[in-house]
Structure 1
């Protein structure tokens, strides 16, 4: 049994960031395994900080 209902696969939910108009995207990777990603606006300072941190850890 999945905690997240199957009908939410592919759902886009507004929010997820306090500094931009981000959207949360829910994807079922396989039965019982889900991914929730946040899509930030390109200009978002939070997203720019995340990208900068990823570049320094590569």
Structure 2
């Protein structure tokens, strides 16, 4: 089932199924707002506690 794409970009007329996706498109494609940078050096998970912390 396909959703109706009721939200069109006023600049290029590309259509989207929700307004948020259209706004993101306009910001990044037409206004050239850079995407946020991701830190690729970490997985985003907290470090595991050392095994010694559990040994008593």
TM-score by shorter chain over 0.5? no
Report TM bin, short chain: under 0.3
Question: Larger Rg: 1 or 2?
Answer: 2
- TM-score when normalising by structure 2: 0.26
- TM-score when normalising by structure 1: 0.26
Q: Determine which structure has the larger strand proportion and give its number.
A: 1
